[in-house]
Amino acid sequence: MCSHGILGYDVRMKKPLMYYLLGGLALVIVALSIFWYLNIRAISVTIVQPENDVAIRVFGLGTVEAQTLSKIGFETAGTLVELNADYGDTVKAGTVLARLHGREQEARVLQAKAALNQAKAGVEQAGAAVEKSEAVLKQTNDTNIRRQQLMQRGVVSQETAGDTQATADIAKADLNQALSAVSVARSNLDQAAALLAIEEARLAKYALAAAFDGIVMARHKELGSALNANEPVFTIVDPASIWALAYIDEARAGSVEVGQPAIVTRRSAPDKKMNAKVVRIDIESDRVNEERRVYVRCGGCPLTFHLGEQAEVLITVATLPQARMVRTRSLTSVKGNEAIAWTVEEGRLRQRTISLGQRTLDGRIEILGGLPEGAEVVDGPTAGLKIGRKATIDLAEDMGP
């Protein structure tokens, strides 16, 4: 009984030990499998592929504005007695939009016209006086010549000839005086015409006309309003001058130039992309937000507009004929125009410092150089990569931007 008891005890002792050994072996196998999967197995990666016609754009958020927008009013004070336009009306340049009460000024114009007519009559009267003086002078000269001849023959006395000569001299002086009167009359005429022009110009200020073709955005006053000089009555905008004002970060604005193509998207119509081009770049930047003000205008855009509406602007600053673009998140240690990228070289993973170029809005950067011959840049995934590990290239997988 003792031997059986001892044998039974040994068997019972060996079974747990066997289980432990088997369990430990299984753990080792699992650990080796995990190690192989994570460190030895060839990992599948995607690489950067060459692309054609890569557009490099900068983004700006702004508003719809108008280059030509005017608040117009009368140059003189008065009471508003006529309104010919209202909100939304399309007006032509020179169209009279409103008038002030101007009877007093109209009377001044009539008075100036009467003075002008009087000055014209004065010129005519002075001209007639000249004609009369010329006739008298001619007659007295003829008489004087005959009497001077008669005096020389002794027919008339010297005294009579002297009187005739004096009469001729007086007639000549009268003619000169008449000619001077004509000059005075003409000066009076010019003065009367100038005064009439002044009064008519003052009267013209009682009518408010559109300075350009446009649309009435607002009417600020109503009939009977007493206005001060230059007080706004209408706000007019030129629809042909509508443009988008975009605020571009100074870090990206250096490559923006006048004439570059752009795409404008209004908040009210996100599905409508409007082609435009850069027409002006402000010399002064926004000092607080460190942004540059850039204006873009589109040709053939819809006439319906709302000033102040939010607009997104994409400006194409360059187009790369062919380039290799890597996602920013696939790089490490990005500093200026350099970064560290994962590469596949002869089937194994390496890391290289590469030089960078243009950047796209979807988070990709142009690869300019720094790669040995035959090296391919890994575009993803980059998690868990180790130098020297085997890698296979998956051309079919699309990692997205």
**pLDDT, mean of residues 69-98:** 95
Instruction: Say if strands 310-327 and 291-297 run parallel, antiparallel, or are unpaired.
Output: unpaired
Cβ contacts of 115 within 8 Å, gap of 6 or more? 192, 195, 196
Q: Domain 59-66+238-320, what fold? A: Elongation Factor Tu (Ef-tu); domain 3 (2.40.30)
What is the chain's mean pLDDT, rounded?
Answer: 86
> What is the pLDDT, as a whole number, of residue 154?
74
Alpha-carbon Rg for the chain in angstroms: 50
Instruction: Say if strands 43-47 and 391-393 run parallel, antiparallel, or are unpaired.
Output: parallel
Of the candidates 60, 113, 106, 401, the residue with the CA atom closest to the CA atom of residue 251? 60
Judge whether 182 and 130 are in contact, CB under 8 Å. Answer: yes
Examine the pLDDT at 234 and tell me if it is beyond 60: yes
Of the candidates 389, 385, 371, 388, the residue with the CA atom closest to the CA atom of residue 48? 371
> What is the pLDDT, as a whole number, of residue 21?
66
> What is the pLDDT, as a whole number, of residue 247?
96
**194-198, 267-271, 390-394, range with greatest mean pLDDT:** 194-198
Q: Give the span between the Cα atoms of 64 and 291, in whole angstroms.
A: 17
Looking from the CA of 156 toward its CB, the CA atoms found within 13 Å total 16
Sorting pLDDT into bands at 50, 70 and 90, what band is 19? low
Q: Domain 43-54+321-393, what fold? A: 2.40.420
**pLDDT, mean of residues 371-375:** 90
**pLDDT, mean of residues 110-124:** 92
Sorting pLDDT into bands at 50, 70 and 90, what band is 25? low
Residues 156-167 have pLDDT tens digits of 777 776 777 788
Residues 296-351 have pLDDT tens digits of 998 767 667 889 999 999 999 999 999 999 999 989 888 989 999 999 998 889 99
In the CATH scheme, what architecture does the domain 76-100+207-237 have? Beta Barrel (2.40)
> What is the pLDDT, as a whole number, of residue 322?
94
Sorting pLDDT into bands at 50, 70 and 90, what band is 398? very low
| Phi, psi (degrees; rounded to nearest 5) at 384 | 80, 5
> What is the pLDDT, as a whole number, of residue 32?
56
pTM metric for this prediction: 0.70
Q: What angle do CA 312, 64, 248 make, to 5 degrees?
A: 45
